[in-house]
A and B are shown apart, each in its own frame.
Chain A
């Protein structure tokens, strides 16, 4: 065993919602093994990782247990010994590659610093070593990368640099705390592959923290499921995912949307409600009087039709233009060219006064449940102010608001409360109710479930399905998550660098993608290889 954790408990500061961040944690990791700790937010998985690394934020203290590594208890080391241990025996990579590197230091200095801190090698050797590391993690043009500053690298490249630094002193244990969560799906696939390859070559133990069951299925040998600070279940990945022993694990795995789309619905008889042709949007950064203009083509000739009662998925990675498309259709942004029609109405050409009067026809649900409700308004105001501005009677609006709150699964008494009194999932339901208050024909959901834990996400996705049927809504569902798209969308639009690369019914696109980019996107979704336990479990139902 490289590391053995026994009966570890970490106390939360007084006044927290529970006494322990995690308690009674016991596990070990062997050389050459990837152990995943999976759990929803608040499960204590990150605290476990940070305790091993001795990087707990102030206020959190280990109260019992041992962490044994190489015959020593890591919790009992002196400060100097802890420092010596970090970076040389245990290394760690983090979630946010964009902020994890010092913006003012060249990459080579940041890598060389690991050697300096542990007094390894001479100055020249350090530079040569850094070059080799950068090569090993597959960064293009290593000499140039070494001279670069972090701001000149992409997120994926920065995460590779982080991995290079972590590998520098050949640690026995690598801790990866959600290392791919902030990355696009294709970049994520590359990083996961890199971690696996490096492990094969160096034989270290890897402790991988994630919230994503797909990632677990992709990379883990063994898995620990955590919930509210305790271990719910642990075992070999194929066993835990294939035949979960506890209710919680079963629910968690069933909540993961499947990459296999359900049978298609027949919508051929329905009328077209939105028709978009040749939509274009270019961002011009006007730097003022002295800086030159820079142009970025955000979306380029996007066209599609959407029928009554249909859900269209717009999928793509960051920078693909999917959100911009949504915002142009909602007329939160003005496109440079192209036509948007709602039935007979030339929606894209409405002047501002008319537009405001008809705003109710297109509504949006946003991504961030914490930023999408005005923190200073009561739910009653948030829900009714739009309807009242459209000329509806206040009492009528309130009555409808009560009705809608119950439809979305909340209590009507919520009206008198403020947004901060609700959880993320509840706020998202309020955001949906606000959109419905306007009695829209078209609902645009912009990454509406991306910020939610997987079990809450499943509930909100069900809600969308139910509402589509109740109100016969046309939904434009913008998402980066192909599994989510597979489950809720009738048709799919795949966007890449501002253009539509593929469009078609969800079943067709997922079964037989015609464009290379779509294929690489689908292949990158973690956990759905042909022999993966997740696919096997799901295929059998």
Chain B
């Protein structure tokens, strides 16, 4: 019952934030340069004043702000995000076409960074002050200071150009009509470099956080209790320290979800990964504001989804959470 209320509350909260994002998005569309009618007319190749007027009336651009907002929202509810004249397709279709690729990339990077980050952080913490700790700390510090897109380029230089281990371009081999398992293997092969370079930056963040949190938890009273019980150090680390130390890392991971989605724009651009990030970059080059803001809205929604998932994970690991709602 409590749990259900907690989930409902989180859902309601997400809905409110999503609504706020929709409004922000609408305001941004309005702030975008250029009269939308003129842009549309330009696309259509005609620009006389009468035609512009007709366009304005047709698309309700002469209506007051709140009516336009209402139209925009009701359009969204019918999955209508406007039309891209550059690509001659509805924005919604364009995004949905690209979304699976982005979900695959960000999901893989997210899992990779969490697993690798926690493992590295714990390894550093249990060997605190030794060379392994120093090595991991320095590596994390370097990764944390390196621009994502540059790591991607360097990875291409090393692993594609020099060593030829992984493809540097796209999501599947061009022209090969692979199916089933072999198709997925091909995708995975393409996924390695983008997912790793996107994940590494976040690995560094999670490793630092895990290390700090682990050391802080190790100084807690209940760890002393565990020691007084006669538990072995390994068991204390696993059952008492790690379980408690991981909580702030989960919180951070939820907060960082937005960053991963944002980082996908850079990764997809460098690796020509056919996701919404790449779509955003193309829209940016062509100043296709409908697509640009559509992608922005969908990626915000993705972050909300990631946040909901971390909330649920939290519910599983921390019994106290119900009290805090």
Residues of A within 8 A of B (CB): 53, 55, 83-88, 91-92, 94, 96, 99-105, 113-114, 117-118, 149, 151, 162, 165, 287, 289-291
Contact = CB atoms under 8 A, between A and B. Distances in A.
A99 B222 contact: yes
B87 interface: no
Contacts of A104: 243-244, 317-319
B47 interface: no
B182 interface: no
Contacts of A114: 229-230
Interface in B136-163: none
Nearest to A50: B224
B222 A102 contact: yes
Interface string B209-238: 000000000001110111111111001000
Given A55-B228, A117-B230, A290-B9, A151 B222 contact: no
Chain B interface size band reads 20 to 34
27 contacts: A53-B228, A55-B224, A83-B230, A86-B227, A86-B230, A87-B231, A94-B224, A94-B225, A99-B221, A102-B226, A102-B244, A103-B222, A103-B244, A103-B320, A104-B244, A113-B229, A117-B229, A117-B230, A117-B231, A118-B230, A149-B319, A151-B323, A162-B225, A165-B225, A165-B229, A287-B325, A290-B13
Contacts of A103: 222, 244, 319-320
B242 to A, nearest CB: 10
B228 A86 contact: yes
B12 interface: yes
A249 to B, nearest CB: 31
A151 to B, nearest CB: 5
Contacts of A55: 224, 227-228
Contacts of B317: 104
Contacts of B221: 94, 96, 99-100
Nearest to A162: B225
A27 B222 CA distance: 29
A99 B216 CA distance: 14
Q: Which 9 A-B pairs have the closest CB atoms?
A: A87-B230, A86-B230, A99-B221, A87-B229, A92-B228, A102-B222, A149-B319, A100-B221, A117-B231
Contacts of B9: 290-291
Q: B-side binding surface: helix, strand, loop or mixed? A: helix
Contacts of A113: 226, 229, 231, 239
Given A102-B244, A104-B317, A87 B228 contact: yes
A149 B16 CA distance: 33
A101 B221 CA distance: 8
A61 to B, nearest CB: 17
Contacts, number: 79
B240 interface: yes
A85 B232 CA distance: 12
A85 B230 contact: yes
Contact of A117 (B13, B235, B318, B319): B235
Contact of B240 (A83, A99, A102, A290): A102
B201 to A, nearest CB: 30
Given A53-B228, A87-B230, A103-B244, 19 more contacts: A55-B227, A83-B231, A84-B230, A86-B227, A86-B228, A86-B229, A91-B228, A94-B225, A100-B221, A102-B243, A104-B243, A113-B229, A117-B229, A117-B235, A151-B320, A165-B229, A289-B16, A290-B13, A290-B325
Nearest to A290: B9
B323 to A, nearest CB: 7
**Which of the listed residues A102, A117, A290 has the most CB atoms from chain B within 10 Å of its own CB?**
A102
B232 A83 contact: yes
A365 B230 CA distance: 45
Contacts of B16: 289
Given A149-B319, A151-B319, A291-B325, A99 B220 contact: yes
B230 A149 contact: no
**Which of the listed residues A92, A104, A113, A291 has the most CB atoms from chain B within 10 Å of its own CB?**
A104
A114 B224 CA distance: 13
A160 to B, nearest CB: 14
Contacts of B12: 290
**Which of the listed residues B229, B317, B323, B325 has the most CB atoms from chain A within 10 Å of its own CB?**
B229
A103 B243 CA distance: 10
Interface in B243-265: 243-244
